[in-house]
Amino acid sequence: MLAGEGAPKAASIAAILGKCHKAGTESKAYAEAGALRWGNGVAEHVLQGDPDIDLVLRSSPRARRITLRVSQLDGRVTLTLPNGVPPREALEFARAKEDWIRAHMARRPETVLVELGANIMIEGRVRRVVAGSGRAVRLNEDTLAVPGAPDSVPRRVVGFLKARARDVLVHASDVYADRLGRSYSGISLRDTRSRWGSCSSTGRLMYSWRLILAPPDILQYVAAHEVAHLAQMNHSPAFWDEVSRIHGPYAAPRRWLRTHGTDLHRYRFEN
């Protein structure tokens, strides 16, 4: 019964090693949790690996369980835990889900830092950022010519894009508001993560300036969508009838946003 006698010993060794590994993991989680610095219910932590993963821990009184979310817009990993749950449990949860986190992050579009030599989509067409002359940024058929020092390129590009987005969106909003027979009270531009536009109860329109990166028909659809809310502050059949009336068929641009919208957030404008 030599084999039979050896099996319990092997199992015992495996059990001991498993306990040691778990104890080591828990000990590490305790140490990491103790090093967290909280402010307004939020803390940051780095899950070390290849590459490192930046975690944002958020304590929420409404959370019922620990949840994990990977933003497809900027890759931000948010770990939400109910009030009273020890942070070490959240960190252990994140480590257990590390493969899942990395798989989701791998599906995100590659981030593009906008600088000289970079390619950026503007109005649905890819343009190369090149050094320009004079004082103004110039949009050409295949290039975006940016004058000035190289380290000023990201700032100048984003300034150009915001100004162009405002011009195009104001004109589109005017056209659709005229067709609708309603007026809006103002327009603002933001770099929103969760929506492309909105319409307030006071008739103020808000748009993401990144819409200028998309093909023109996508921007036109979003403008018509938000203007239609001036008549219908909902997404009822009556609302979609208004969109159809002032814009025409909208299925294709709506589908494009769902499929390719996250690509517009791949561009970064910080040095």
Q: What is the DSSP letter of 39?
A: B
Q: Averaging pLDDT over each range in 48-52, 87-91, 99-103, 208-212, which range is the top one?
A: 208-212
Hey, is 100 helix, strand or coil? helix
Distance CA 202, CA 220 (A): 22
pLDDT tens-digit series, residues 66-92:
998 887 666 778 889 898 888 888 889
**What's residue 129's pLDDT?**
98
* Entry pTM: 0.71
Q: CA torsion angle for 71, 39, 83, 93 (degrees, to 10)?
A: 50
Structure tokens at 82: 């109910």
Count of CB atoms within 10 A of residue 155's CB?
15
Count of CB atoms within 10 A of residue 114's CB?
22
Amino acid residing at 138:
R
Beta strands in the chain (DSSP E): 42-47, 53-60, 67-70, 77-82, 112-113, 119-122, 125-131, 138-139, 143-146, 186-190, 197-199, 204-208, 267-268
pLDDT grade for 25, boundaries at 50, 70 and 90: very low
Per this entry, what is the length of the chain? Answer: 271
**What's residue 73's pLDDT?**
66
Q: Any idea where the domains of the chain sit in the sequence?
A: 39-108, 159-268
Distance CA 213, CA 191 (A): 12
More confident residue, 263 or 15: 263
pLDDT tens-digit series, residues 127-178:
999 999 999 999 999 999 999 999 999 999 999 999 999 999 999 999 999 9
Q: How far is CA 206 from the centre of its chain?
A: 18
Element (H, E) at 200: none
Check pLDDT > 60 for residue 187. Answer: yes
Question: In the predicted model, what is the mean pLDDT of residues 33-56?
Answer: 75
Distance CA 24, CA 8 (A): 24
Count of H-run helices and E-run strands, the chain: 7, 13
User: Whole-number mean pLDDT of the chain?
Assistant: 86
User: What does each C-alpha distance from 245 to 1, 88, 241, 242, 254 come to in angstroms?
Assistant: 85, 55, 6, 5, 16
Query: For 190, what's the count of Cα atoms within 13 Å in the CB-facing half-sphere?
Result: 12
How does 191-209 read in b/e, with b if 16+ C-beta sit within 10 Å? Answer: ebeeebbbbeeeeebbbbb
Pairing of strands 53-60, 77-82: parallel
Check pLDDT > 70 for residue 34. Answer: no
**What's residue 178's pLDDT?**
98
**What's residue 74's pLDDT?**
67
pLDDT grade for 38, boundaries at 50, 70 and 90: low
> In the chain, pLDDT over 70 holds for what percent of residues?
84
**What's residue 39's pLDDT?**
65
pLDDT tens-digit series, residues 214-262:
999 999 999 999 999 999 999 999 999 999 999 999 999 999 999 999 8
Question: Minimal CA–CA distance to 45: which of 76, 67, 18, 17?
Answer: 76
From 3.30.420.310, 2.30.40.10, 3.90.1150.10, 3.30.2010.10, which CATH number describes the 159-268 domain? 3.30.2010.10
